[in-house]
Amino acid sequence: GAGVGGVGEAASGTLGEFAPEGRVDAGSASGLVSVTGDSSNALLAAARELVAADTNAIFGGAGNKLLQLAHGRADVALMHFGTSLWDTCAPEAVLAARGGRVTDLFGAPLVHDADSPAGLINRLGVLATAPAVAHMHDELCARMRADARLLALLEDMGSATEGPAGAQAVDVSRCLSGAPLSRAWIEEAMCPPAAGEAEPAHRLASYSAPEADAVRGLMSEACRLELEWAVNPDAKPGAASVPPPPASAFYKRIAMSELEHARLKARTAPLKLARDTRSYAVEATFLGSAACEALVNAGVPVARAYAVDLRPCAADPLESRFGLLLEEFRREDGWSQHWLCNAAQARAALAGLAKLHAFFWEGSKFWAEAEGGGEGAAACEELTAAVWPSGAYWQPSMQPAEQLTELVAKHWPEHARNFAEAFAQSPMLEGVDVGTLGARLQAVAPQVGAESHPFGSTGKGAPGMKTLIHGDPKAANIFLRETATGEVQVGLIDLQWCGFGLAATDVAHHIVAGTATDCLSVDGSTESALLDHYHAELMAALVSLGGFSPERAAKLLPRDVLEEQYENAVLDMARVVFAYQWARVKASPATLAKNAPSMGRNSYNKSVEHACWLVGTTDRVLKRREARGAGQAA
């Protein structure tokens, strides 16, 4: 038989062989069978209608229904809105062990949290699928999220008279305890009372989380919240003249134990899971810091945090949870993301990064204010404690040590075989020694890693060149908009990997991972033009934002040093791509084509042309480095 047991906070269980049993309806072997109770509840009837089973059978008891699925006698189970967590917890474990799935009607896990606002009642119902049809679970939940009758269960969503319009990302727009976000929490974060006032000027009348704007990633989930504000009748006279808060916000939710990829990492790469967990704490802390506020006030747009809910668990990173309610770069205000940045967009992005780098450059006005103590010193200390000592997720200290010693050379022959036809046909690879590339890159990987990340565990420092870097400036993490004067503004998001480093690592990351083909060339000339542009923007920003004199700025990062650091960073990125990113998916033209629609993927993971450019550029930069070494030896 099957059994599940728990003692204290630790749980264990055994799963024996299930004796085969016949279907609930012997005539339904090829049709979908659902089991429900005998409730006449209209919402439960609506859920049954959406499942559209060929057979609906009546079974009493939550555990009994789930066991019908575990035994294969039925395919789908629906439960009314009054079951308790103690009714479902043990049979859920049995069904999950068999390969089935259990969630609320909208696809959210049943969260066993004593502090949940929903208490111990499964008030959003229960939907379960048997192992044989578990692949249908997400589709069934999507039907529920699009049904106006069931969305009426969500008291805080929609208007005062009707539920939200259209499908809703109810499984994402939840607090960390599992309940749907409350209007009160959003209102408190975005519209607190003014100083000396007891009531806010506005109340949040309703909100919605459109399914079309939801993102369900491997390591996080997010959705757009559309907000409807109303003047607070209890506020002081004149509240109507106060502008309402923004009409939308961005909600990012990370519950590691609910993410399949995080659970996989817990088993196969626990150190990476611990690293990823810390990255969300870094992002949340930075976005709520005085340093971030100062950066935005200086004219560098960053999506700041209205509220953060941090629940890290160092003892078991899989139990870590993070919730961030963020400012949104609204499309209604002209902001947009791009699949990859064309030349004009890349120039704008690099100018935005130059401002970030200049503002936090070692010795800038920001750091100088710390010498006077007070708020300036506190802001500097807060920033230093918040971000990574060495930024960028691809640095050696955040990757397996074997990448520096063997993994590039080990995996390169497979890449060469998988891309053989594409490499042979690419004009980007004329004259490239593809066969030796892996071994040549492996030989310089330790030195390149140390030079690209001088403030990491393998680095030796870089006096006068330390700044705060974004750490992951791919195209998806940069918003752009054009003003009436033709200026292109840049907004930065997703700062999980921000920390101290060399500005050139951000520049290389953006060019390598986030730019379109009009930014790339066989001989490096177009990339060199982008470096010229970045350098000019940095020199200007070091004066205007950093407080340096033009003469001092010119000495902080000479143009030739920028190019050398950029080339090192390109090689260091290639190390991670060849040793890890391509290796883990057995990359080929077919896998890149499958990734092509993705907004968030890096260029070399979704475009064969970009993959060929990276290989060709790696060879070209290696040859330059090898030539310099030969010259020095002579």
List phi, psi (to 5°) of 103.
Answer: -145, 180
Checking if the pLDDT of 6 tops 80, the result is: no
Q: Beta strand 202-208 with 221-231: parallel, antiparallel or unpaired? A: antiparallel
Report CA-CA distances (Å) from 194 to 202, 353, 505, 582: 11, 34, 42, 52
Q: How far apart (Å, rounded) are the C-alpha atoms in residues 391 and 398?
A: 10
Strands (E), 23-156: 33-36, 55-58, 76-79, 101-103, 126-129
> What's the pTM?
0.85
Kindly tell me if the per-residue pLDDT of 163 is higher than 70.
Answer: no
The arithmetic mean of pLDDT across residues 483-505, rounded, is: 94
The listed range with the strongest mean pLDDT (17-21, 356-360, 370-374) is: 356-360
Q: Are 74 and 98 in contact (CB under 8 A)?
A: no
| pLDDT over 50 at 10, yes or no | no
Q: Is the dihedral of CA 324, 307, 166, 172 positive or negative?
A: positive
Average pLDDT over residues 534-560: 98
Amino acid at 150: L
3-state secondary structure of 309: strand
What is the model's pLDDT at position 370? 81
Residue 11 confidence (pLDDT) above 50: no
pLDDT tens figures, 285-340: 999 999 999 999 999 999 999 999 999 998 999 999 999 999 999 999 999 999 99
CB atoms within 10 A of CB 19: 7
The DSSP secondary structure of 248-277, one letter per residue, reads: EEEEEEEEGGG-HHHHHHHHH-HHHHHHHH
**Rounded mean pLDDT of the chain?**
90
Instruction: Band the pLDDT of 159: cuts 50, 70, 90.
Output: very low
pLDDT for the residue numbered 111: 81
120 — pLDDT class (breaks 50, 70, 90): confident
> Residue 280 and residue 277: Cα distance in Å, rounded?
6
Extract the tokens encoding 52.
Answer: 């559209």
CB-based contact 75:53 (threshold 8 Å): yes
- CA–CA distance, 157 with 168 (Å, rounded to integer): 9
What pLDDT does residue 375 have?
Answer: 81
pLDDT per residue over 410-447, tens digit each? 999 999 999 999 999 999 999 999 999 999 999 999 99
Question: CA–CA separation, 256 vs 240, rounded Å?
Answer: 42
Mean pLDDT across the stretch 154-159?
A: 63
Q: What average pLDDT does this structure show over 71-97?
A: 90
Q: pLDDT class for 8, splitting at 50, 70, 90?
A: very low
Q: Is the pLDDT of residue 26 over 70?
A: no
How many Cα atoms sit within 13 Å of 351 on the Cβ side? Answer: 17
For residues 79 and 59, the answer to whether their CB atoms sit within 8 Å is: no
CA atoms lying within 13 Å on the CB side of residue 610 = 26
Least confident of 156-170, 272-286, 474-488: 156-170
202, 241 contact by CB (below 8 A): no
Q: What is the mean pLDDT of residues 476-503?
A: 94
Structural domains of the chain in order of their starting residue, each with its CATH number:
1-155 (3.40.190.80), 329-633 (3.90.1200.10)
Distance between CA atoms of residues 355 and 250, nearest Å: 24
> Lowest-pLDDT range, 16-25, 301-310, 599-608?
16-25
- Residue 298: enclosing H or E segment and its boundaries? none
Q: Is residue 2 over pLDDT 70?
A: no
Mean pLDDT of 473-481: 96
Mean pLDDT, residues 112-137 = 86
Query: What are the b/e assignments for 457-481, b being 16+ CB within 10 Å?
Result: ebbeebeebbbbbbbbbbbbbbbbb
Residues contacting residue 13 through CB under 8 Å, at least 6 positions apart: 3, 4, 5, 93, 97
What residue numbers does the annotated binding site cover?
A: 87
Inform me whether the pLDDT recorded for 16 exceeds 60: no
pLDDT at position 545 is 97
- Selection from 183, 215, 181, 356 nearest residue 286 by Cα: 356
Please report, in range form, the residues annotated as the binding site for Mg(2+): 87
Specify the pairing of strand 248-255 against strand 2-7.
Answer: unpaired
- Give the integer Cα–Cα distance in Å for 526 and 473: 19
Whether the CA torsion 220, 391, 575, 355 is positive or negative: it is: positive
pLDDT given at position 18:
53
> Quick one: what percent of the chain has pLDDT higher than 90?
70
Q: Could you tell me the maximum CA-CA distance found in the chain, to the nearest angstrom?
A: 89
3-state helix, strand, coil in the chain (%, to 5): 50, 15, 35
Coil, strand, or helix at residue 292? helix
Over pLDDT 70: what percentage of the chain? Answer: 93
Residue 13 pLDDT class (50, 70, 90 cuts): very low
Taking the alpha carbons of 256, 262, 267, 271 in that order, is the dihedral positive or negative?
negative
> Residue 137 — pLDDT band, cuts 50, 70, 90?
very high
Give the model's pLDDT for residue 81: 85
pLDDT surpassing 50 at residue 1: no
User: What is the CA 105 to chain-centroid distance, rounded?
Assistant: 25
Closest CA to 192 of 300, 293, 325, 298: 325
436, containing H or E segment: helix 434-452
Task: Take residue 438 and report the two structure tokens written for it.
Answer: 């892996």
Residue among 5, 1, 78, 91 nearest 36 (CA): 78
Rounded CA separation 237/354 (Å): 45
CA–CA distance, 292 with 264 (Å, rounded to integer): 34
CA Rg, the chain, in Å?
A: 27
Q: Kindly report, residue by residue over 438-460, the tens digit of the pLDDT.
A: 999 999 999 999 999 999 888 88
Mean pLDDT confidence for 246-257 = 95
Q: Residue 546: which of 287, 295, 286 has the closest Cα?
A: 295
